[in-house]
Chain A
């Protein structure tokens, strides 16, 4: 069974940094692209960032303007998101998601349950 478990969320002040982690199991981790998707309270889904199987291809939403950094450690079956210079509008539930087909960016076949990040003073 594919499982994705996010951690690291919480309350953080504007301008500070926070790191999220996602541990995966139930599949061959380094066969798939992985993504972060967020959902602000009561709002829709917003793709944040994605990374392919060997970190050779990385992408970010234009709106992030270089504040976030995605990475992965295939030896630990883990995905990370370093969020810097956080703003109140970054408040959201952050989902870790796995790509559908091995080695490519595509649809998001499996999702974690999400971790809440609240940016407030």
Chain B
């Protein structure tokens, strides 16, 4: 099973600042990596797939990069509605595993 790790566990950011969340896979997943946003009491929402493709309706301030084992989600200028938990997920070779999540909160 491919193990996903994320850092940091919590990220405190001021509105308007940039946030960077990292995700690492225990082995290469190529670009088979997605990012999700989850707010309290809501289902997760797909942000990024294929490591760098924004899902339908996702603002351009969200961007993803990386391949192989190391990936990054960048939120260029945090808006109030972006404070949430972010998860990465790999879907390589018929398996699916999630990272433990990164909480982005208000500084």
Contacts and interface: CB of A to CB of B under 8 A. Distances in A.
Contacts of A108: 34, 36, 44, 46, 89
B95 interface: yes
B interface, size bucket? 20 to 34
A44 B99 CA distance: 8
A62 B95 CA distance: 10
B100 interface: yes
B81 interface: no
A59 B99 CA distance: 19
Contact of A44 (B1, B45, B49, B101): B101
Interface string A70-112: 0000000000000000000000000100001000011111111
B32 interface: yes
Contact of A59 (B43, B49, B94): B94
A112 to B, nearest CB: 7
A57 B101 CA distance: 28
A35, A37, A62, most chain B CB atoms within 10 A: A37
Contacts of A59: 94-96
A37 B98 CA distance: 10
Tell me the dominant secondary structure on chain A's binding face: strand
B96 A95 contact: no
Contact of A45 (B32, B44, B49, B91): B44
A109 B43 contact: no
Nearest to A4: B43
A3 B96 CA distance: 22
Contacts of B89: 45, 47, 107-108
Contacts of A100: 34, 46, 49
B91 A106 contact: yes
B97 A47 contact: yes
30 contacts: A37-B44, A44-B99, A45-B36, A45-B38, A45-B44, A45-B98, A45-B101, A46-B98, A47-B96, A47-B98, A50-B96, A57-B94, A95-B43, A95-B44, A100-B34, A105-B96, A106-B32, A106-B91, A107-B34, A107-B46, A107-B49, A108-B36, A108-B44, A108-B89, A109-B55, A110-B46, A111-B44, A112-B43, A113-B43, A114-B43
